[in-house]
Amino acid sequence: MSEKSSTRTFLEKISKILPEIKKPGRKVGLGEKLVWTALALIIYTWMGHTILYGLPQGTQVGQSPALLNVVFAQKTGTLITLGIGPIVTAGLILQLLVGAELIKLDLSKPEDRGLFTSMSKLLAIVIALFQSAAYVYAGFFGPTNATQNIAIFIQLVAATILIMLLDELVQKGWGLGSGISLFIVAGVAEEIFVALFSPIILPDQAYQGIILASIQAIFTGNLPSILVRQGGYPDLVGLFSTIFLVLALIYIEAIRVEIPISYAKFQGYRAKYPVKLLYVSNVPIIFATTVFSNIFYLGSLIWSRFNPNNDNIFLNLIGTYRFDEQLGTVVSTGGLAYYVIGPRGIASVLQDPVRAVVHAALLIVFAVLFAKFWVQVSGLAPEKVAEQLIQAGMQVPGFRRSPEVIAAVIGKYIGTVTILGGLLIGLVASVADYVAVFGSGIGILLTIGILQQYYQLLIRERISEMYPGLGKLLGRE
């Protein structure tokens, strides 16, 4: 016990020197919030277009080794090579540890919450140090000398700390919503824009942007050539899949079971408690992706240090890799690291259908597991919801007003939507990539969810701006 509390004092000491954004300490208007949010976004995007100092000449930038970079808003070879990866990974690890009660923190206490925040920041920095070192050691940027390695390492760590603060800036009352969500959406939006309009001519002699490629194909009368393109380039199948996926997701987002509730005190006050099909939203897929990408990166580290020739049978199970000259980065060719990354485009699926099936299965299983876990950890569990409803003086008509009974009524639905939602999200995220959806399946999933949150947030901000009294009523404590 005393050993634990000394760890705690140590962490509390460290938390005193961690940089932290000053709270506004005043009411920030909607207009000003938009400015801060836009500034943070512009800086982040600019970072994404700033190539690292010390990167070998001719290294291609922005080509992802994995398609996992959407979730972490990463762009290989730039200042956001690590993106928000360390922040998300650190948060996930801490949440898992707290959720499994391996770290004893009571998140209903303010001082424990403060410590949780400091610890996740500290862990994010540690992960950034580790990942930056891993990137240069594993040779992600090709052959680099010691000076280049040190320069890249420093830049990546510095950028991560700044990104952490940028996110905090947005979230801590200066901006709107969360920086992390914003950076993800910006990355996906950029990718979709490029897929639509990029004027770069790719090796198959067609424009990268599908709109330009279509016009070009109509003139040459060779429309079938861009129906399906090799190498996961934007094609017509991808375009129509993207449109379909966006519409389908907006529809799915609205599917819900509404449980009637009423006030115990006032007869006639009736309301509905919605249990959405995507009750757990995108969280499971982010968790799954975090695990997968870390398998990929740790695997590549092991490969470069202990198994560069791919001849150790046991280490080959973790992953075999090679350095792709054309992409300018490391790609996985076998083992677990190969299957955690799905093939992109119908052409690659047909090349190795087994990979597609295994990847989809992995993603779905992990998504369901994490969905179940997330419901327990995040206070979405039926028992918690029942407790909140009763505290608010609500009841489910026709049932006794006891937490157990209400939890049982709600739990019936929550249990189902948790598994179903996880399943659906896992399926969409994997299959969407097989038809080469623009911005990747996970990217579109995240974007739709985040944009909807932002839409609601903006409406709420507008209302509270115009009618301060009403705003208080609308969900702001």
Partner 1 sequence: MSAKKRKEAPMPATAAGLLRFFEDESTGVKVRPEIVLGASAALIVAVLILRALFPI
Exactly one of 30, 97, 129, 151 binds partner 1 (CB under 8 A); that residue is 151
* Beta-bridge mates of residue 316: none
Compute the least distance from the CB of residue 449 to partner 1, in Å: 9
Q: Which of 90, 59, 54 is nearest to 72 (CA)?
A: 90
**Angstrom distances, CA of residue 227 to CA of 8, 173, 236, 352:** 59, 47, 5, 20
- CA dihedral (44, 46, 48, 53) in degrees, to 10, reads -120
Compute the least distance from the CB of residue 393 to partner 1, in Å: 8
Window of 215-223, 267-275, 343-351, 411-419 that interacts with partner 1 by CB under 8 A: 267-275
Using CB under 8 A as the binding criterion, the count of chain residues that bind partner 1 stands at: 90
Window of 109-117, 191-199, 230-238, 332-340 that interacts with partner 1 by CB under 8 A: 109-117
Exactly one of 8, 96, 137, 178 binds partner 1 (CB under 8 A); that residue is 178
Exactly one of 255, 357, 361, 392 binds partner 1 (CB under 8 A); that residue is 392
**Using the rule CB under 8 A, is 162 a contact of partner 1?**
yes
Exactly one of 30, 34, 43, 405 binds partner 1 (CB under 8 A); that residue is 43
The Cα–Cα gap between 212 and 222 comes to 13
Exactly one of 389, 429, 432, 436 binds partner 1 (CB under 8 A); that residue is 389
Six-digit token pair at 198?
Answer: 């990029």
Buried b (16+ CB within 10 A) or exposed e, 155-187: bbbebbbebbbbbbbbbebbbbbbbbbbbbbbb
**Using the rule CB under 8 A, is 272 a contact of partner 1?**
yes
The Cα–Cα gap between 324 and 468 comes to 57
**Using the rule CB under 8 A, is 105 a contact of partner 1?**
no
Exactly one of 69, 74, 81, 171 binds partner 1 (CB under 8 A); that residue is 171
Choose between 147 and 309: whose C-beta lies nearer to partner 1.
Answer: 147
Cβ-Cβ contacts under 8 Å for 83 (sequence gap 6 or more): 69, 72, 73, 74, 75, 163, 183, 187
Residue type for 382, please?
Answer: P
Exactly one of 155, 241, 294, 348 binds partner 1 (CB under 8 A); that residue is 155
Residue 156 contacts residue 132 (beta carbons within 8 Å): yes
Query: Mask 406-445, x = binds partner 1 (CB under 8 A)?
Result: ----------------------------------------
Compute the least distance from the CB of residue 383 to partner 1, in Å: 13
Choose between 349 and 394: whose C-beta lies nearer to partner 1.
Answer: 394
**Using the rule CB under 8 A, is 148 a contact of partner 1?**
yes
**Which residues ranging from 71 to 100 are in contact with partner 1 (CB under 8 A)?**
71, 79, 84, 87-88, 91-92, 95
**Using the rule CB under 8 A, is 198 a contact of partner 1?**
no
Residue 410 contacts residue 257 (beta carbons within 8 Å): no
The Cα–Cα gap between 433 and 23 comes to 41
Buried b (16+ CB within 10 A) or exposed e, 111-141: eeeebbbbbbbbbbbebbeebbebbbebbbb
**Using the rule CB under 8 A, is 473 a contact of partner 1?**
yes
Six-digit token pair at 440?
Answer: 């990747």
Exactly one of 8, 34, 62, 117 binds partner 1 (CB under 8 A); that residue is 117
**Residue length of the chain:** 477
Compute the least distance from the CB of residue 23 to partner 1, in Å: 6
Choose between 296 and 373: whose C-beta lies nearer to partner 1.
Answer: 373
Choose between 213 and 424: whose C-beta lies nearer to partner 1.
Answer: 424
* Beta-bridge mates of residue 256: 276
Choose between 131 and 148: whose C-beta lies nearer to partner 1.
Answer: 148
**Angstrom distances, CA of residue 264 to CA of 385, 392, 409:** 16, 10, 17
The Cα–Cα gap between 290 and 268 comes to 47
Residue 367 contacts residue 285 (beta carbons within 8 Å): yes
Exactly one of 140, 141, 153, 374 binds partner 1 (CB under 8 A); that residue is 374
**Which residues ranging from 439 to 468 are in contact with partner 1 (CB under 8 A)?**
446, 450
**Using the rule CB under 8 A, is 188 a contact of partner 1?**
no
Residue 82 contacts residue 162 (beta carbons within 8 Å): no
**Using the rule CB under 8 A, is 241 a contact of partner 1?**
no
Choose between 63 and 178: whose C-beta lies nearer to partner 1.
Answer: 178
Choose between 345 and 382: whose C-beta lies nearer to partner 1.
Answer: 382
**Using the rule CB under 8 A, is 283 a contact of partner 1?**
yes
